[in-house]
Amino acid sequence: MTPPAPPARFRDEVRTTAVLAAPLVAGHLATGLISFVDNVIAGRHGTNTLAGVAVGTAMFWLPMMVPMGTLMALPPSVSQLDGAGRRAEVGPLFRQALWLSAMLGLLLFVLLSLSVHALEPMGIAPEVRPAATAFLHGIRWGIPALTLYFCMRYLCDGLHWTLPTMAFGFGGLLVLLPLGYAMTFGAFGFAERGAGGLGLASATMMWLQVAGFVAYLAISRRFAALRLFSRFDPPRWRELAGLLRTGLPIGVTVAMEGGLFIVTALLIGRLGELEVAAHQIAINVASLCFMIPFGLAEATTVRVGHAVGAGRGPLGVRRAAWAGLALVLATQALSATVLLGWHDAIAAVYTRDLAVASLAGTLLVFAAAFQFPDGVQVLSAGALRGLKDTRVPMFIAALAYWGVGMPLGAGLGLGLGWGPKGMWAGLIAGLLVAAVLMGWRFLRSSGRVALPPGPMTKDA
């Protein structure tokens, strides 16, 4: 073990991480609030609409996790170049990442177009399928925009400039709130489309976000020296392969974790619209809470990557990770307290159906129980991404989520008849195993970071 960092230097790292993470957290909360708006609009339209949006959202994000995670190779790659003083290489890398994001977006569009045919074989309740199909048919048009948006966002994050994530996140929220309402209920000249209208409104919002991001990167003086759009670069398979080597294991890891929650939603979808509607409320609230440690983990990825690029050795790398961990423990304590104290009041915001609200409130108590393991595992995974250590975490995720969490949840929820409560017990177990193993892996990997041959670079 390395000796503890001097208190003043550690406080500086905590402060730097907090400043970097604050816009990321705000941006992620805006994204979570977009899902909140979707669910509140759907819930007010009817329990069937909410259940259809729940299943459709699960079907949308299950494949989306892989390209989103794959593109997470960009922040550590950019931050290491930035830390090493090689900013001239950032523009060419970004242009290759744009090609990768476009390819992934088109591939996913095709996949999601075909996924509606899987609803019946998956055993989704017959009354839920039409609304889920309509939602998927609408939202699929936004997939290429979303992958391009992630690419541009991760570029900014890797350069320690996280305000665009917040700005475009809240901008999307301001678009979706009136447009989603109008296209779901029928207002302002739009026909009532229910879940399908909500899907189309979400897709429209995604294209407006990406258009705004392109304009921002093109005219911002902050990015002028990088010459991001100064030339056309064809796909270079060597660079694309390098991004995939780092990013694809991240994508699989993210899909392993996200898939645990999504497949849980799909399995609960076999029980009926009451259960799936209650689960959707609880998982939406839990997802909002998750946006805070997720933003802190992304900031930690950047800080760890910068420490590696600047040649600060194991001590500097671990200091960056401990700073993120301290912040995560504080925020997770707050989230757990809110969920335990106000679970019934939170559930009542989403629906007028008392049976749905009662079950959702119970599930929020389970959500409070996994706040700490969820925060520790996502922070550890973010720190490992900063080291570009992505393959072993992929296997850890497979073991924790699919070797422990899913079998236990399915056994308790479906096998023993515990319903959604049993499925959520499996979520807690999977996250706890992931937290322990990811933390252990970071301790091992950070100890192998080499110091540069010359004098240490000053801290940024």
Question: pLDDT by residue (tens digit) across 226-240?
Answer: 888 888 888 888 888
- Per cent of the chain over pLDDT 70 is 96
Contact criterion met (CB below 8 Å) for 158 and 74: yes
- pLDDT tens digits, one per residue of 293-334: 988 998 898 889 888 877 777 888 888 899 999 999 999 999
Q: Identity (one letter) of the amino acid at 185?
A: F
Assess contact for 353 and 45: CB atoms under 8 A.
no
Check residue 434 and give its pLDDT.
94
Whole-model pTM: value is: 0.73
pLDDT tens-place string over residues 401-413? 999 999 999 899 8
Stretch 377-398: mean pLDDT: 90
Packed helices 74-83 and 143-158: angle between N→C axes, nearest 10 degrees: 20
pLDDT over 90 (residue 250): no
Rounded to 10°, the helix 371-386/354-369 angle is 60
DSSP 377-396: HHHHHHHHHHTT--HHHHHH
Return the pLDDT at 1.
Answer: 41
Q: State the Cα angle at 239 between 234 and 240, rounded to 5°.
A: 80
Tell me how far apart the 2 most distant CA atoms of the chain are, in Å. Answer: 68
Q: Give the burial string for 152-171 (b: 16+ CB within 10 Å, else e).
A: bbbbbbbbbebebbbbbbbb
Those residues whose C-beta lies under 8 Å from the C-beta of residue 90, and which sit 6 or more positions away, are 78, 81, 82, 155, 159, 226
Find the mean pLDDT for residues 423-451: 88
Question: Is 80 exceeded by the pLDDT of residue 35?
Answer: no
Q: For tokens 């705004």, what's the residue?
A: 212
pLDDT at 460: 40
Q: Is residue 56 predicted with pLDDT exceeding 80?
A: yes
What is the arithmetic mean of pLDDT over 9-33? Answer: 82
Q: What is the DSSP letter of 416?
A: S
Q: What is the pLDDT of residue 450?
A: 60
Q: Are 70 and 244 in contact (CB under 8 A)?
A: yes
Residue-level pLDDT at 452: 57
Q: How many residues does the chain have?
A: 460
Q: Where are the domains of the chain?
A: 7-446
* Mean pLDDT, range 371-375, rounded to an integer: 93
Which distant-in-sequence residues (6+ apart) come within 8 Å of 185 by Cβ? 41, 45, 192
* End-to-end Cα distance, the chain: 24
Distances (CA, A) of 242 to 70, 128, 413: 11, 42, 41
Beta-carbon count within 10 A of 127 CB: 13
- pLDDT higher than threshold 70 for residue 386: yes
